[in-house]
Amino acid sequence: MITMQPIGIIHTPFRQLAEMPIQPAGAVGVQGTVEIFEPFWAGLKDLDGFSHIILLYLFHGSQGFSLEVVPFLDTQPRGLFATRAPRRPNPIGLSTVRLDRIENGNLQVRNVDILDKTPLLDIKPYVPEFDAQTEVRSGWLEQARKTVARRKSDNRFGSSQES
């Protein structure tokens, strides 16, 4: 058993589980604020040199999990780990967002597909050499992923932050 605690709170325009964008790709331009708790501010030094950051957060609206789910972008059941659905054994969400600026422990970010008041667990700098891959196959999402910008969530997961 591992215990974790929030280092901040993510504020976004999305106050309800339904009608949310699916992934940052469906949330282009949507602005949010990541409020970092003051004891952690010293860790933000140098972060403003990065145009993109990876947010790891808690899917706080989700409860329990199923090992097969029908994702928002599909019509048939898929294995949970082949999806980004929020109800997971360890409900950790991952979104790469654009970082506009940092002021007094508040990170102004864009392309946010995250529920309002989401507890933040970690921030990592996005580095293409580490995080971007080439020659990628993406299974059942190969077709569906191209439509993500036009799709919205519904309430099927209790929490519906990801595809």
Binding site for its own copies (CB under 8 A): 1-7, 23-25, 40, 42-52, 54, 56, 58, 67-68, 78-84, 88-90, 92, 94, 96, 98, 119, 121-133, 135-142, 145-146, 148, 163
Tell me if 30 sits within 8 A of 111, measured CB to CB.
yes
Give me the least distance between CB of 77 and its own copies, in Å please. Answer: 8
Nearest to 109 by CA among 39, 13, 1, 43: 13
Tell me if 121 sits within 8 A of 6, measured CB to CB.
yes
CB nearer to its own copies: give 104 or 133. Answer: 133
CB nearer to its own copies: give 1 or 64. Answer: 1
CB nearer to its own copies: give 13 or 79. Answer: 79
Give me the least distance between CB of 80 and its own copies, in Å please. Answer: 4
3-class secondary structure per residue, 87-128: CCCCCEEEEEEEEEEEECCEEEEECCCCCCCEEEEEEEECCH
How far apart (Å, rounded) are the C-alpha atoms in residues 102 and 89?
33
CB nearer to its own copies: give 17 or 123. Answer: 123
